Amino acid sequence: MFGSKLKKTIYIEGMSCSHCQRKVEEALKKQREVKEVKVDLANKKAELILNRDLRDDDIKEIIEDLGYEVRKIEE
């Protein structure tokens, strides 16, 4: 749809410090589909605003390759 933004919330286990938060944020920002990223360390989640859809499996792989566990992804 024209003008609409896709939003996804990813719940992540294993982040324990600001370095972990930054690592996840930077990895997600590298994806061309991602317009904005906000990683919330205290609530163990990342919020993405996407230019176009990014598959949940791809998001999971990016985060798990960093050594963290994806608990759930919501749209």
Tell me, what CATH number does 52's domain have?
3.30.70.100
Task: Provide the domain count of the chain.
Answer: 1
pTM: 0.89
Structure tokens at 6: 């896709």
Indicate whether 1 belongs to any domain: no
Q: What is the pLDDT of residues 10-65, one digit of tens each?
A: 999 999 999 999 999 999 999 999 999 999 999 999 999 999 889 999 999 999 99
Q: Which phi and psi angles does 42 have, rounded to 5°?
A: -60, -40
Instruction: Give the structural domain span for 40.
Output: 6-74
Structure tokens at 51: 């230019």
CA distances from 58 to 1, 11, 14, 30 (A): 22, 15, 18, 13
Q: What is the pLDDT at residue 2?
A: 45
Indicate whether 70 belongs to any domain: yes
Indicate whether 43 belongs to any domain: yes
